[in-house]
Amino acid sequence: MASTSNTPEILSRLSASAEHAIATLRGLGVDHAEVSVGVGNELEVGVRKDEPELVKEAQSSGLSVRVMRSERVATSSTTDLSKDAVEAFLKTVVEMAEISEPDPMASPPPPEELADGNALPELDLFDPQTDGIDAKRALELAQAGERAAFAADERITTSEGASFSRSSGHGVLATTGGFVGTRYGTYQSLVVQAVADDEGGKKRNGVYWTGGRFFSDLEAPDAVGAEAARRAVRTLGASKMDTGQYPIVFDKDAARAIVGLVASCILGDAVYRKRSYLASCMGESVAASGVTIVDDPLVARGPGSRRFDGEGRAVAPIKVIEDGVLRSFLLDTYSARKLELSPTGSASGGGGIPHSSVSNFYLLAGDTKPQGLLEGIETGLYVSRMMGFGFDPVTGTFSRGAEGFLIENGALTRPVGEITISRNLGELLQGIDLIADDLEHRTSTASPSFRVDHMTVAGS
């Protein structure tokens, strides 16, 4: 797989486009402007029962801009990067700003608060091999994964398909405040979905995937397919369990969904609009004492890593919850002003409407092996998957469909399905009493497996 990327050349071209746009906007008399220009390359393939179902490849380019004049703001974007077209486009955006409503809160960060574009961290986010994976190779990878699922167990009767995708991107953010920063990254993933037939005509799906910034970090297709098959087969015969309150163990995939709910409650927009039950809890205990949740944009090869934020601020790890205490929200400049707090370098949307976002948001791992989470549980539930969207961020009310396995005397026994688990999220976090050591940074929001002292299970 040969590389088709020339990062220095691409970034040089994009930087020239961004700097030309900034110079044009200065000439148009704006008070402030942010310009983001980027290019991307994507490939996605899919197979089902060994036959290709999808081959889609696309290249993209675009320039987006936010301009301010007399506290009036306008944003827009274009895909035509020729100089004449950009100049005409920028003139129109400035005219849009002149007729918008003023918003004094939308003023930019002071120049002295911006990062040094010449001293940005190197985070190892770009694999020069990624763009060299062509459609033929991608189809072979997907087919190998699906074939492995069928070969792993004769009870796998069909497939919901297998897919491989890869993407790469280069970009530049420039501002009239003097910041110019470059960004570049790749990502690829392989997904296999195996299906086993159960009694009563039910289908049991098993899904497994691997992904990462670097192709060499992916698991082998044979391993991905075999695990998808194992996950499908192990749920055969799943049935409800008795309604009641039980200790709950969330495996790392299900646990990630819980951590994602926390993320939605500490973003600046949700906080200042009072759309989060955590809005008034700064400095208070909001989780068990052993719970520390971090947002870290500087994880090497992290899927959510970034060299700077969407406004050109420097970035650093943030302890959002430390030993159970809420220590920080994630704030862009606008939400920080609304809350009369300091920005945290958590802005996204450069060249558009800034908003706060997570980078690599995760629960810090413990030192217990995953199997150790089951010890001491006489009767409980191991949750491997959750369904639905039963969460109210204003109250913390949480209720979702789940499936997994019954825990009896410290061991997993029969598969469980068609149940609902519920508890207020704040109480759930306070109930975490043991955290495993199996954290993986496959996704920007991540978690190790963990145990909760009890939740309500609605079953039979």
pLDDT in tens, 353-372: 999 999 999 999 999 999 99
- Domain identity same for 249 and 182: no
Domain with 398, as residue range(s), is: 237-258+365-458
The answer to whether residue 389 sits within a structural domain is yes
What pLDDT is stored for residue 1 in this prediction?
Answer: 41
- Domain identity same for 40 and 115: yes
Residue-wise pLDDT for 113-124, tens only, equals: 999 999 999 999
Assess whether pLDDT exceeds 70 at residue 2.
no
- Domain identity same for 160 and 33: yes
What pLDDT is stored for residue 3 in this prediction?
Answer: 44
Q: What does the mean pLDDT of the chain come to?
A: 96
What band does 5 get if pLDDT is binned at 50, 70 and 90? low
Burial class (CB in 10 A: 0-12, 13-18, 19+), 45: buried
- Domain identity same for 223 and 244: no
The answer to whether residue 188 sits within a structural domain is yes
Q: Is 37 helix (H, G, I), strand (E, B) or coil?
A: strand
- Domain identity same for 418 and 400: yes
Instruction: Please give the average per-residue pLDDT across 78-94, as a whole number.
Output: 97
Q: Is 437 helix (H, G, I), strand (E, B) or coil?
A: coil
Assess whether pLDDT exceeds 60 at residue 4.
no
Domain end, chosen from 230, 249, 281, is at 230
Half-sphere exposure of 385 (CA within 13 A, CB side): 15
- What is the model's pTM? 0.95
- Domain identity same for 179 and 242: no
d(CA 42, CA 166): 6
Strand ranges across the sheet with 361-363: 325-326, 318-322, 293-295, 361-363, 445-446
> What Cα–Cα distance (Å) separates residue 358 from each residue in 179, 304, 355, 435?
22, 8, 10, 22
Instruction: Please give the average per-residue pLDDT across 433-438, as a whole number.
Output: 98
The answer to whether residue 282 sits within a structural domain is no
Query: Of all helices (H) and strands (E), which one includes residue 271?
Result: helix 268-272
The answer to whether residue 270 sits within a structural domain is no
- Domain identity same for 116 and 252: no
The answer to whether residue 350 sits within a structural domain is no
What is the count of structural domains for the chain?
2
Strands (E) in 131-242, as ranges, are 156-175, 180-197, 203-212
The answer to whether residue 78 sits within a structural domain is yes
Instruction: Provide the percentage of residues in the chain whose pLDDT is more than 70.
Output: 99
Instruction: Please give the average per-residue pLDDT across 427-454, as a whole number.
Output: 98
